[in-house]
Amino acid sequence: MSRDDAYLLDMLIAARRAAQFASGISENEFRNSLLHQDAIIRRLEIVGEAAGRVSDVGRVQHANIEWRKITGMRHRLAHDYRNVDLDIVWAVVTTEIPVLIRYLERVVPPEGSEP
């Protein structure tokens, strides 16, 4: 597995976990649960951190991934943590993360696969 493939797999795993944590709860429940907020935000940070490590070549190969938005959100969550907008977090985890998961599931080699 290439370095970029490993980071794409990290993105996929973290995105799946974020979606799983959001599954079965309402936006209101999310807003009232620090546990869910922290779990989802942490997974979004990991998605963004892994995205930031994908090479320029990898980014070009997967140009339909919104790299700047993903890494920008990671920076906001990690460094501007006092101003996290839960509306945005909820919108991302319920609308954008499922799209990212579907894409990554098509392009990421399975864990343990050899080139």
Nearest 5 degrees, angle CA 20-CA 87-CA 18? Answer: 15
Residue 76 a catalytic site member:
no
Please tell me which residue in 43, 53, 59, 74 is annotated as part of the active site.
Answer: 74
Catalytic residues: 74
